[in-house]
Amino acid sequence: MKVRKKVNIVMEYISGGELFDAIVENEFYSEADAAALIRQMVTTIEYVHSKNVVHRDLKPENLLFEKKGSNVLKLIDFGIAAVVDESRPKLYEIVGSRTYMAPEIHMRTGYGKPVDMYSIGVIMYILLCGYPPFDYDQGIYELAFGSPEWDPISVTSKEIIKSLLDHDYNKRPTPTQLKNHQWISGKEVPKEKLENNIHKSIRNWMDTSKMKARIGGDRGGYRPRVMSIFSMMNNNPPPVAQKKNNKSKEQVLIESLKTEINNHAKGFIKLTEQVHKLENTTPNEILKDQMNSISQELAMMTNAFNELQQGFTPKLNNILKKHSY
């Protein structure tokens, strides 16, 4: 009997384009429009979570409109989705896209369904102002609602974002809790056109994201490479960083370098602690996942340190020589 070695999968054709592309093309855009989009995401994730599946890579690129002119969103790319159940109550792999990745994934303490809600929080933030809730100069998470972009945005939407981006995943709302919220349901949400240059901001953010992908930034399915100092030198930060930063370019680069080194140092300390805990442990499947994750993280951090040392030590020494008297 001849064994077939090829499987053909017929999938739905989704022609409406990515989430942000459609927003940029649409002249009229309001909080009510954003709420309708978030409602679809939440309803979809509610179903996914009911099957004990965690998507782990929720981002605008994975949210497509059914067809041109349609308001129906489709969630795609379940390539790194995983099942959480009694046999595997927590996940430990570091996967996803950095911008939308929940802190517990970075911390390797074990995570589950709430990571998808965190990603929705980041998407919602961008949907209302056009850029993410991060300071890319420093590489530090900082939730803020800066002026003037956030001035016309309702207090209710800001409270929802705060709850979704809570570092304590137990405090984040579940999909069921969130979909019944008055803002999400559309019962109490502003319907006036947003006049905060959001189309331009989203376009700038899209261009920045695509550039990051080309140099090795956010990539679904892998541990994302740290946004290095080298790329920071050549990139303009998103609007949130531009508005909050009054420092010189030299000061920004020095502080960025210090921050990256400190983050790696803290990471090495954390890894060392985890290795000590595992030394006298007989690995089961969950511990093996943790060990593989630690090993991969250690290798990437080592490469990052080498990159910093090779790239900057000679340059810094030359600068010091030039200015030594």
- What is the Cα–Cα distance from 227 to 208, expressed in whole angstroms? 12
Please identify every residue annotated as catalytic.
57
Three-class SS of residue 119? Answer: helix
Instruction: List CB contacts of 272: < 8 A, sequence separation 6 or more.
Output: none
Q: Which tokens go with 320?
A: 């010091």
Which residue pairs, CB below 8 angstroms and at least 24 apart, start in 239-246? 239/130, 239/131, 239/149, 239/201, 239/204, 240/131, 240/132, 240/133, 240/134, 240/135, 240/144, 240/146, 241/135, 241/136, 241/137, 243/146, 244/135, 244/144, 244/146, 245/135, 245/137
Q: Which tokens go with 315?
A: 């340059």
